[in-house]
Structure 1
Amino acid sequence: MSKLTRREFMAIGSLTAGFAIAVQPISAKTVTTDPRGLTFGEVKISTSKGLIPAFRAMPNAGKNFPVILVIQEIFGVHAYIQDVCMRLAKLGYLAIAPEMFYRQGDVSQLTDITEIRKVVSKVPDAQVMSDLDATVAWAAKFSKGNIDKLGITGFCWGGRITWLYAAHNPKVKAGVAWYGRLVGESTPLTPKHPVDIASSLRVPVLGLYGGKDTGIPLDTVEQMRDRLKGCSQNSEIIVYPEAPHAFHADYRPSYRQADAEDAWQKMQDWFKKNGV
């Protein structure tokens, strides 16, 4: 067995145990899932560039669990994203949230949103796609995952990645993108955005968006809807008229409980409908 590099060693036990510092104070409405009946915690994923940490949750009993990739916001794999994995595990899934920014920096320890965005801006889409491929392979080999029933869901930054990974990996059965950015400038690190891949998308994706989201204008949502009309599958976008950005983030003031619970149920229905 080869020796771990110091960077790889530090990947073990490196996920934050609580919430990202930048989003303090935490809302009293935060959801905490009962861990009984679950196996959960940090694992390490072997990728083409070394080890990265991830949070994994699944039922204690059983095997061949359908797999859902959970993609983080810009704040990293902190307590909220970890609890989303726990909620999915309660539904019978193997849910895994790999730390997508690990090589670029630990955003959970930053207090300034501007500094967080600097880290996130350095993350190449190609790296993310490769790391997610490695996570899928890990799920099948080491964690009783059935990757013939593979889904993906992501929030904010992870919503955009959900659209892109559904286009990247045709083995994905379904995706659910929560208020992910749809348009943007083409750069060497982010060459394409969801509107660019929409017409060729072969995986059904459900988009969940807020009508009061100041960061994702409704005209871009309509642009995405128009592009999806050329697809060979049935993707769908739902807009909650009064919801702001991050309306599912129960630890933040943006949380809208009724819309969040309705959208969560629609996500479950979408996965079941499409074989996840």
Structure 2
Amino acid sequence: MYDAMLAETVTITGAGGDEIEAYLARPLGPGPYGSVVVIHHMPGYDEPTKEITRRFARQGYLAICPNLHHREAPGASPDDAAAASRAAGGVPDERLVGDVAGAAAYLRGLSSANGKVGVIGYCSGGRQAFLAACSLPLDAAVDCYGAFVVGTPPEGSGLTMTPLIGMTDRLSAPLLGLFGAEDQSPSPEQTAELEQALRKFGKTYEFHTYPDAGHAFFAVNRPSYRPQAANEGWQRVFDWFGRYLSA
């Protein structure tokens, strides 16, 4: 079997018709392949997130990560772009939805796509994955420790995020949630509140909370990394997308 993939920077049309940078990784076989929009964490459109995008391509998905901070600091380092975005209050929710819609449309337009699109996000991206799945027609969603789906940012953070739990009835896709028991953003109490709302509206979901893990336990380049939780989490992600994004 032919085994090769291509990873490259592309330009997509995001919210408001803006052209923004994105990172695309895809197998070079004929497909058809399911597609995944990767939403980066608050630290930005960085190399670890690009590696996550390539990992999905290695698993047989068309994957794209839009640079959500492109407008604030085009061409800047991920750290500087993230700082500029944070200073502006974070990525506006309406703009996020438009950028994910543009990324999904780009993937669906590829000749090897099977038409099914999922979304995954980490940290702030986990919240944004939930937002996207409540705002767009998607086929699967994964929330990796997304803060402020329930609750609000602390005083002085500069962020203007509002809770999303009131949108739960609009969730369009089966949702996988992966959380750390030692996390406080979201806390176990907050994930339990979200789970209660999902049950109330009869949504398809699975939540898994890992002991001895806190926020960002997937992040291999940070002290928060927890190999066992991350490895188990990756397997659940691939099982979830395999279930809902296959041809």
What's the CA shift string for 1:215-250, capped at 9, x where partnerless? 322211111111111223311211112101000011
Which residue of the partner structure matches residue 196 of structure 1?
166
Which residue of the partner structure matches residue 4 of structure 1?
none
Whichever residue aligns with residue 64 of structure 2, its letter is: I
Which residue of the partner structure matches residue 154 of structure 1?
121
Which residue of the partner structure matches residue 68 of structure 1?
36
For 1:180, which of 129, 141, 146 is the aligned residue? 146
For 1:228, which of 190, 198, 203 is the aligned residue? 198
Could you tell me how far 1:87 is from its partner in structure 2?
0.7
Could you tell me how far 1:114 is from its partner in structure 2?
6.6
Which residues in structure 2 correspond to 1:1-276 (within 5 Å)?
37-47=4-14, 48-105=16-73, 106=76, 108-110=78-80, 117-119=86-88, 121-142=89-110, 144-147=112-115, 149-170=116-137, 172-181=138-147, 182-185=149-152, 193-276=163-246
What is the distance in 1 between the residues matched to 2:134 and 2:29? 33
Which residue of the partner structure matches residue 8 of structure 1?
none
SS of the residue corresponding to residue 74 of structure 1 reads: coil
Q: Is the 8 A contact 1:75 1:116 kept in 2?
A: no
What's the CA shift string for 1:164-196, capped at 9, x where partnerless? 1111112x111111000122449xx96753312
Deviates more, 1:42-51 or 1:150-159: 42-51
Q: Is the 8 A contact 1:200 1:231 kept in 2?
A: no
SS of the residue corresponding to residue 180 of structure 1 reads: coil
Whichever residue aligns with residue 213 of structure 1, its letter is: D
Whichever residue aligns with residue 46 of structure 1, its letter is: T
Q: Is the 8 A contact 1:202 1:232 kept in 2?
A: no
SS of the residue corresponding to residue 104 of structure 2 reads: helix
What is the distance in 2 between the residues matched to 1:253 and 1:233? 34
SS of the residue corresponding to residue 236 of structure 1 reads: strand
Seen in structure 2, the aligned counterparts of structure 1 residues 224 and 98 have a Cα distance that, compared at 3 Å, is same
Unpaired runs of 5+ residues, structure 1, are 1-35
Could you tell me how far 1:144 is from its partner in structure 2?
3.2
Seen in structure 2, the aligned counterparts of structure 1 residues 223 and 138 have a Cα distance that, compared at 3 Å, is same
TM-score (norm: length of structure 2): 0.87
Q: Is the 8 A contact 2:90 2:160 kept in 1?
A: no
Percent sequence identity over aligned pairs? 30
Whichever residue aligns with residue 180 of structure 1, its letter is: G
Whichever residue aligns with residue 173 of structure 1, its letter is: D
Q: Is the 8 A contact 2:44 2:79 kept in 1?
A: no
What is the distance in 2 between the residues matched to 1:242 and 1:68? 29
Q: Runs of 4+ in structure 1 displaced over 4 angstroms?
A: 113-116, 189-192
Q: Is the 8 A contact 2:26 2:54 kept in 1?
A: yes
Whichever residue aligns with residue 60 of structure 1, its letter is: L
What is the distance in 2 between the residues matched to 1:159 and 1:195? 13
Deviates more, 1:44-53 or 1:191-200: 191-200
SS of the residue corresponding to residue 53 of structure 1 reads: strand
What is the distance in 2 between the residues matched to 1:192 and 1:245? 20
Which residue of the partner structure matches residue 18 of structure 1?
none
Unpaired runs of 5+ residues, structure 2, are 154-158
What is the distance in 1 between the residues matched to 2:77 and 2:86? 9
Pairs aligned (count): 235
Q: CA RMSD in A?
A: 2.3
Could you tell me how far 1:75 is from its partner in structure 2?
1.5
Q: Is the 8 A contact 2:45 2:69 kept in 1?
A: no
Q: Is the 8 A contact 2:35 2:245 kept in 1?
A: no
TM-score (norm: length of structure 1): 0.78
